[in-house]
Amino acid sequence: MIEPLTIPISITWKDHHIQLLDQRKLPATIEYVDLKTVDQVFEAIVNMTVRGAPAIGITAAFGLAMGAMQSTKDQLEEFQEEVLAIKEKLASSRPTAVNLFWALDRVSKAAESATSVNEAKTTLLQEAIQLQAEDEQMCRDIGEYALELLNSSEPVLTICNAGSIATAKYGTALAPFHLASERGTQFEVYACETRPVLQGARLTAWELQQSGVNVTLITDSMAAQTIRAKGIKAIIVGADRIASNGDTANKIGTFNLAILAKEFNIPFYVAAPSSTFDLTIDSGIEIPIEERHPDEVRKIQGISIAPENVPVYNPAFDVTPADYITAIITEKGIIKAPYITGINSLIS
Ligand SMILES: CSC[C@@H](O)[C@@H](O)C(=O)COP(=O)(O)O
């Protein structure tokens, strides 16, 4: 029997404001925060109350619509200037995940041809609601394609949280596990803890347990030993931005896993919706890599684990060159090398 996925929804539009599942508090507490101003939306993306490329995009889309609805301008031109300023503010929250810019562009473009302020406000909100609904469907479709490549009797490794709470629902890299679970089949999944912010330990381990998936947590440095000792047969990860040539930015540590996959001769899959492709850039060199606060490395959950002022390098993402990627799984189908050709025909 098919049991629908029971993971909490991370982003909910509540008529006039946004409600977010507070991902910073998981797994200890399931708590929601209400965002009623554009500044609060900006902060929630920066401080990772909401995180994960598609979820950031959806939140920003609702943030733009909410800010526009709160506008008191009655002249269309002045209103549009205000919308542009809100868009620029939200776009400056995090630099790497292209879904943020894609979502803001899509929602603002939809309202460009509006002939009145009221029509523009309605269109902005409708587009944000539509974008969220489409993301859920895209994630389901990604999950179905991923199930064509993965075998539920073989252990799989993942990093970070490319799961339901990082999207509208189901996730990207975790979608096949949730779909299989709904159908009564449990995958065996190894989750890297994903230092420094621990999305793997706090979010993926929790999310997969909620869904009944057979998940085991490891620290990031245990990946090679786990692949050998536990017979990992595939690695699957999400993405924050994929360049035209297939180079893929994802959570820091992803490239390490791709190198291991090559060494152990196992497939390395990237799962992402078309909103994660950036066809304006040729290769991964052009992807901006976010560097976050040093205290994320000096501390774990607020507790110091290093000298207070030790210098830190804290890139939040790395770029895996396309040659290391066995296939990119999208909602439109599975893309294999040569990526330029596949991406152009399927995504653009
Ligand atoms: C479906 S989420 C895909 C990616 O956004 C995910 O793998 C990731 O790297 C998230 O990074 P985060 O810094 O937690 O936003």
Q: What is the mean pLDDT of residues 195-205?
A: 98
42 and 127 in one domain? yes
112 and 192 in one domain? no
Q: How far is the CA of 168 from the centre of ligand 1 (A)?
A: 13
Answer whether residue 4 is part of any domain.
no
Cβ of 194 less than 6 Å from ligand 1: no
158 and 90 in one domain? no
Q: For residues 173 and 151, what is the distance between their CA atoms, to the nearest angstrom?
A: 14
98 and 176 in one domain? no
State pLDDT tens for residues 287-344.
Answer: 999 999 999 999 998 999 999 999 999 999 999 999 999 999 999 999 999 999 999 9
66 and 200 in one domain? no
Residue 266 reports pLDDT greater than 70: yes
Give the contacts of 187 (CB within 8 A, at least 6 positions apart).
150, 152, 156, 176, 177, 180, 181, 213, 214
325 and 290 in one domain? yes
Q: What is the mean pLDDT of residues 240-267?
A: 98
- Ligand 1 atom 1, closest CA: 162
Could you confirm whether 240 is annotated as catalytic? yes
124 and 49 in one domain? yes
Cβ of 171 less than 6 Å from ligand 1: yes
CATH code assigned at 84: 1.20.120.420
pLDDT of residue 2: 62
State pLDDT tens for residues 93-136.
Answer: 999 999 999 999 999 999 899 999 999 999 999 999 999 999 99
Quickly state the pLDDT bin for 240 (edges 50, 70, 90).
Answer: very high
273 and 183 in one domain? yes
Q: 119-157: buried (b, 16+ CB within 10 Å) or exposed (e) per residue?
A: ebbbbbbebbeebbebbbebbbbbbebbbebbebeebbb
Cβ of 232 less than 6 Å from ligand 1: no
How much is the mean pLDDT over the chain?
Answer: 97
Q: For residues 324 and 320, what is the distance between their CA atoms, to the nearest angstrom?
A: 7
Residue 236 reports pLDDT greater than 90: yes
DSSP state of 288: P
Q: Is the ipTM of this complex over 0.95?
A: yes
Q: What is the mean pLDDT of residues 143-147?
A: 98
Nearest alpha-carbon partner for 211 in 172, 238, 184: 184
Answer whether residue 266 is part of any domain.
yes
Q: Which of 102, 136, 170 is the last residue of a domain?
A: 136
Answer whether residue 264 is part of any domain.
yes
Number of domains in the chain: 2
- Ligand 1 atom 9, closest CA: 251
Give the contacts of 21 (CB within 8 A, at least 6 positions apart).
8, 9, 10, 11, 30, 31, 32, 50, 165
Q: Which of 84, 102, 136 is the last residue of a domain?
A: 136
State pLDDT tens for residues 3-16.
Answer: 667 888 999 999 99
Answer whether residue 2 is part of any domain.
no
| Tokens, residue 40 | 């609060």
Answer whether residue 6 is part of any domain.
no
- Which of 135, 141, 240, 278 is an active site residue? 240
Q: If residue 296 lies in a helix (H) or strand (E), which one and from where to where?
A: helix 295-298
Cβ of 238 less than 6 Å from ligand 1: yes
Answer whether residue 92 is part of any domain.
yes
Q: How far is the CA of 118 from the centre of ligand 1 (A)?
A: 35
3-state per-residue secondary structure call for 156-198: EEECCCCCHHHCCCCCCCCHHHHHHHHCCCCCEEEEECCCCCC
Answer whether residue 170 is part of any domain.
yes
Domain housing 255: 145-346
112 and 75 in one domain? yes
Q: What is the mean pLDDT of residues 54-68?
A: 98
Answer whether residue 3 is part of any domain.
no
CATH code assigned at 217: 3.40.50.10470
Angle at 19 between CA 44 and CA 137, to 5 degrees: 100
| Tokens, residue 314 | 């804290």
Percent of the chain with pLDDT over 90: 97
| Tokens, residue 321 | 């060159």
179 and 327 in one domain? yes
Residue 1 reports pLDDT greater than 80: no
Please tell me which residue, 146 or 5, carries the higher pLDDT value.
Answer: 146
51 is an annotated ligand-binding site residue: yes
99 and 176 in one domain? no
122 and 150 in one domain? no
pLDDT of residue 6: 82
Q: Which of 136, 160, 175 is the last residue of a domain?
A: 136
